[in-house]
Amino acid sequence: MPETRLEKLLDFLKNEPNDEFLKYALATEYLRLNDTGKALEYYEDLVTNHPDYVGTYYHLGKLYEGLNRKDDAIKTYEKGMATAQKKRDNHAFAELKAVYQEATGFEDDDY
């Protein structure tokens, strides 16, 4: 019987427990499977233990918004924008700024 994508990712993670891409893939897969609790667990682990993994901030913020945790979403977007600036990732910064402005209704070019 073939393994599911989730089972494969979990198996890979056993061999590489600190692999940020695998954690991100697992979070995304759990979200796809509507297991928001597990998705949240992996996304939060990423921002705690791999804060430079810029792609996490957008998705974690959107998940927070979906869970009616707007303040957490805004803080996540702010942290993500700062991280993107530090890494000079202009694309990620622009995406984060757009969702930040949407979430706050704030349109400030100071960021």
33, part of any domain:
yes
The domain total for the chain is 1
Note the pLDDT tens digit of each residue in 66-88. 999 999 999 999 999 999 999 99
pLDDT interval class at 28 (50, 70, 90): very high
CA–CA gap between residue 74 and residue 111 (Å, rounded)? 14
CA–CA gap between residue 30 and residue 39 (Å, rounded)? 5
Compute and round to an integer the Cα radius of gyration of the chain: 15
CA–CA gap between residue 86 and residue 70 (Å, rounded)? 24
CA–CA gap between residue 10 and residue 25 (Å, rounded)? 10
What is the CB-side half-sphere exposure of residue 111 using CA atoms within 13 A?
21
Q: Which CATH number characterizes residue 97's domain?
A: 1.25.40.10
Give the pLDDT of residue 3: 86
* Structural domain that includes position 12: 5-104
61, part of any domain:
yes
What does pTM read for this prediction?
Answer: 0.90
Give the pLDDT of residue 106: 77
Give the pLDDT of residue 43: 98
111, part of any domain:
no
92, part of any domain:
yes
Q: What would the two tokens of residue 108 be? A: 């400030």
